[in-house]
Amino acid sequence: MTGTQTRIVLARLPQGVPVVEDFTAETVPIPQPGEGSFLARTVLLSLDPYVRSAIAGRHPGHAASSPGDLVPGRGVARVIESRHAGFAEGELLVVETGWQEFLVSDGRNARLVDVRMAPASTALGVLGMPGLTAWAGITSLAAVRPGETVVVSAAAGAVGSAAGQIARIGGARVVGIAGSREKCALATGTCGLHACVNYRQEGWQAELRRATDGSVHVYFDNVGGPILDAVMDLLAPGGRVVLCGLIGQYNTGVPLTVPLASIIKRRARLMGLVVYDHEHLFPEYLATASAWVRDGRMRYVEDRAIGLEAAPAAFHRLMTGANVGKSIVVVTPEDPDA
């Protein structure tokens, strides 16, 4: 295939929260696949908080970006032309796409998407990396037991909504924390959590204490900062804390802290989670969670933007907490699986 394509590159290095002006679109020739590689067209682009760390060179496998570099990211792409024995034309894959319409790949870390199992977009969210992150934290690290009280922050987001539902399905009493009334309604309504506390409302700490009876067995933390401090103060003796993300602090440059006195007083156990350590759990997770998605026990919400050019604004929304659900850019709206 010949012609040109659009891609989004860094106009400059973001300072603090990334803004639209940090990115620029450019037109370049569509790349040609060599022997052992394939050409694919990006259908859906996943927007994830790690992209911010990747640009800054703080994410495994990514060197720091410079102005002019393609923005990194994974997506669902359709193979258009293959010179790779392992991938056929027409197949749909999760693969490193970058923020561009067409890509050439050698297939490294590519995974087939089976749309008979669930819609293609779920491979980027509830049945993809964010879902596996939630599964690893709730079932493997924290090993949540029925009847326990579990708190999840960013409860309406991609990882948080999956974590809350996995714990709920496992028989826990789950209390979400989220940044708006709308997000809390989603957490308790769509996701079936027992309660949700809006941390932007005055008196939320007291409400959290009431909702958890002041005794939290497991905290799945996506944000760090004052929310982590507040939940640590409510931990039951021997409480477990899964440290999944610190999005509240990614763009502030403020030194990260954990409340040491609470850890000692509560005899708490803190566990750092990196999803890449848990890839071996993926087949088990996919089989289990895709059945839940099909029978409606596990639900998901997506925050969709249309067109590659919308990616910078959608990324800014994600980085400021304006997204509701898994953040996705539909790059090729005319694809039947978009």
Ligand X SMILES: NC(=O)c1ccc[n+]([C@@H]2O[C@H](COP(=O)([O-])OP(=O)(O)OC[C@H]3O[C@@H](n4cnc5c(N)ncnc54)[C@H](OP(=O)(O)O)[C@@H]3O)[C@@H](O)[C@H]2O)c1
Q: Does 160 bind ligand X (CB under 6 A)?
A: yes
Q: Does 223 bind ligand X (CB under 6 A)?
A: yes
Enter the tokens of residue 255. Answer: 């030194």
Nearer to ligand X, 274 or 306 (CB): 274
Cα distance between residue 164 and residue 138, in whole Å: 9
Whether 87 contacts 108, CB under 8 Å:
no
Whether 256 contacts 290, CB under 8 Å:
no
Q: How far is the CB of 79 from ligand X (least distance, A)?
A: 26
Q: How far is the CB of 101 from ligand X (least distance, A)?
A: 23
Q: Does 174 bind ligand X (CB under 6 A)?
A: no
Q: Which of residues 226-265 bind ligand X (CB under 6 A)?
A: 244-248
Q: Does 321 bind ligand X (CB under 6 A)?
A: yes
Q: Does 165 bind ligand X (CB under 6 A)?
A: no
| DSSP track, 275-315 | GGGGGGGHHHHHHHHHHHHHHTSS---EEEEESGGGHHHHH
Q: Does 193 bind ligand X (CB under 6 A)?
A: no
Q: How far is the CB of 86 from ligand X (least distance, A)?
A: 27
Candidates 1-9, 61-69, 74-82, 316-324 — which segment interacts with ligand X by CB under 6 A?
316-324
Nearest of 90, 119, 142, 115 to residue 272 by alpha carbon: 142
Nearer to ligand X, 40 or 156 (CB): 156
Cα distance between residue 93 and residue 104, in whole Å: 13
Nearer to ligand X, 164 or 179 (CB): 179
Nearer to ligand X, 110 or 242 (CB): 242
* Cα dihedral across residues 141, 146, 148, 151: positive or negative: positive
Nearest of 27, 40, 35 to residue 1 by alpha carbon: 40
Q: How far is the CB of 246 from ligand X (least distance, A)?
A: 6
Candidates 6-14, 105-113, 142-150, 321-329 — which segment interacts with ligand X by CB under 6 A?
321-329
Whether 10 contacts 50, CB under 8 Å:
no
- Long-range contact pairs involving 89-94 (C-beta distance under 8 Å, separation at least 24): 92/43, 92/120, 92/337, 93/40, 94/123, 94/124, 94/128
Residue with token string 């954990």:
258
Residue from 183, 217, 240, 266 touching ligand X (CB under 6 A): that is: 183
Q: Which of residues 128-147 bind ligand X (CB under 6 A)?
A: 130, 133
Nearer to ligand X, 239 or 248 (CB): 248
Q: How far is the CB of 141 from ligand X (least distance, A)?
A: 10
- The 17-56 contact track toward ligand X, x by CB under 6 A, reads -------------------------------xxx------
Q: Does 196 bind ligand X (CB under 6 A)?
A: no
Binding site for ligand X (CB under 6 A): 48-50, 130, 133, 154, 156-160, 178-179, 183, 222-223, 244-248, 273-275, 318-321, 323, 327
